A and B are shown apart, each in its own frame.
Chain A
Amino acid sequence: METVQFLAMIQAYTGVGIGLIIGLGAAGACIGIGIMCASFLEGAARQPEMIPQLQGKVFLLLGLIDASFIIGVGLAMMFAFANPLLSVVAQ
């Protein structure tokens, strides 16, 4: 009975952790993308001839800003599908 309770607690806290990983990661990525897109529009308005050069940089930096979120999603999926914390109780 105790083992089942431990498993349930681990799964519940893992669920909270997954939500925090994805939620905070998404919030950070959205703030970063918002700031960068605002800077892109400002730069494009000041110097429209720079748009082609800025376009490639914006795409690369979008990927870099989203990298933390994508890594967070990977970690969250690991905890959802192959939770390493459950093996502690199983032993």
Chain B
Amino acid sequence: MDNSNNGLASNHVFSRMLRWQLAATAVVAIIALFISGTHASVSALAGGFPVIMGAFIGSKIAQRSDSKKDASSILVNLLKAEAIKILVVVVVLFITFKVYKQLVPFALIVGLAAAALFSGAAISKLDDDTSQIK
């Protein structure tokens, strides 16, 4: 198999994942705006933002292993990306809880959960993308 399209394929997967996360967070924020007002909406965005930011930084680190062919080095790079993603999420959440005084905790948790769970939704389109890129 030709490996020249590896970077393009993984880039497409990561951008699709980020798009799903953004859409999920936006939907939760809009629902929260109608149910509980502006602070709930901002809290939902503040919940989704750390996950999206962590996933973006993690995907940039994971993409560094596109040129590598050794499975163990790819795996180490992916685990490194995941560890940095969790670190970013924890730090940004900590800052959010400390700084934002009018926080609506339930809206934040729902936004966070939506963004975290919908990151896996991109896998449903993964096979279509790889077949198109080939």
What size tier do the contact residues of chain A reach? Answer: 35 or more
Whole-angstrom distance from the CB of B90 to the nearest CB of chain A?
6
Whole-angstrom distance from the CB of A74 to the nearest CB of chain B?
4
Interface pair A70/B86, CB less than 8 Å apart: yes
Interface pair B86/A59, CB less than 8 Å apart: no
Interface of B is mostly: helix
Interface pair A59/B13, CB less than 8 Å apart: yes
Give 1 or 0 for each of B92-103: 1 = CB within 8 Å of chain A CB: 011001100001
Give 1 or 0 for each of A48-85: 1 = CB within 8 Å of chain B CB: 11011101111111111011011101110110111010
Interface pair A62/B71, CB less than 8 Å apart: no
> Which residues on the B side are within 8 Å of A74 (C-beta)?
47, 93, 108-109, 112-113
B residues contacting the other copy or chain, number (CB 8 A): 48
> Which residues on the A side are within 8 Å of B40 (C-beta)?
none
A37: interface (CB < 8 Å): yes
Interface pair A78/B108, CB less than 8 Å apart: yes
Residues of B within 8 A of A (CB): 1, 3, 5-6, 9-10, 13-14, 17, 47, 51, 55, 58-59, 62, 65-66, 69, 71-72, 74-75, 78-79, 81-82, 85-86, 89-90, 93-94, 97-98, 103, 105, 108-109, 112-113, 116-117, 119-120, 122-123, 126, 130
| 16 CB < 8 A contacts A-B | A44-B71, A49-B1, A51-B74, A52-B1, A52-B6, A53-B9, A56-B10, A62-B78, A62-B79, A63-B116, A63-B119, A70-B112, A74-B47, A77-B94, A78-B105, A84-B105
